[in-house]
Amino acid sequence: MKLITASILPKVIRKRPVNSFKGTYGKVALIGGNQNYGGAIIMSTLGTVSAGAGLTTTFTAPSNQSSLHAWIPEAMFADYQDQTLLQHLLPTMTVISLGSGLGTDQQSLELIHTVFDLVTPHQTLLLDGSALTLIARNHLQLPSANIILTPHQMEWERLTGVKLADQNPETNQQAYTQLAATQPHLIAVVKSAQTEVFTPTGAFQNTTGTPAQATGGMGDTLAGIISGFAAQFADLDAAVLAAVYTHSAVADQLAQQQYVVLPHQISAALPRFMHEHQAS
């Protein structure tokens, strides 16, 4: 496997043109956060906005609206049960991220079907958390779009049938190849202590990361950062690699002075990190 190193950052993170505006950097819809797991979609939203997405709309349970705006007023709120809004707004998005804190009940499954029906081939659809579990449990066929999967190892097992104990770069590559065979463009980010990323252009292993990241919400934040990078940077494969590296590289820096790195702290440090590693 090729290694993901800091060399990816200036290839992706470019100095912003003087004449750019919010529309230049993409529109992201984040869908998830039921009444019990609102924190997950809020952390994902923090990651997306802090990574530089131009416009971010969070579709979540109404009970999360106040907390969302308290944490991140830059994001717009929408009720994820509002079919009219979903049908009107989702086709306008650059990236749709589905699953953080979504839950696995019937309502969540129906929402996945709605998104799959609405997403178009030119859009990017990131699938995380609960969405991956429901896809595996119900044997759902992925829609025609640019797909990014962000499973942890147990979710990868559910999706592919490769037992956790048997997962290694070779078996993961084989499983990815089978999944990607029927998709126009599929990327899999298999999260672990040494996260592996499989793309149509190759297989990669991350070189950053710390045990200080072992806390709830870390994957939600990563999904948000990937969404933000995918929305604004043209090369999708490179954007995902840069997002994976950045997420853990920021944590490495924070862990030099902290026993535990909290997910929202990574988002808070993102704009400075990206500024330091942008290419002119």
Residue 275 annotated as part of some ligand binding site: no
Residue 195 annotated as part of some ligand binding site: yes
Residue 69 annotated as part of some ligand binding site: no
Tokens for 237?
Answer: 């494969």
All residues at 6 or more sequence positions from 115 whose CB lies less than 8 Å from its CB, including other chains: 31, 86, 90, 96, 98, 125
What value, to the nearest 5°, has the Cα angle with vertex 94 and ends 90 and 99? 60
Residue 40 annotated as part of some ligand binding site: yes
Residue 192 annotated as part of some ligand binding site: yes
Number of other CB atoms surrounding residue 55 within 10 Å: 19
Question: How far is residue 101 CA from its own chain's centroid?
Answer: 13
Interatomic CA distance for residues 150 and 32, integer angstroms: 15
Question: How far is residue 102 CA from its own chain's centroid?
Answer: 14
Sequence letter at residue 15: K
Entry field: residues in the chain: 280
SS3 126: strand
Residue 27 annotated as part of some ligand binding site: no
Q: Which residues are annotated as a binding site for AMP?
A: 191-195, 219
Q: What residue numbers does the annotated binding site cover?
A: 40, 101, 152, 191-195, 219-220
Binding site listing for (6S)-NADPHX:
40, 101, 152, 220
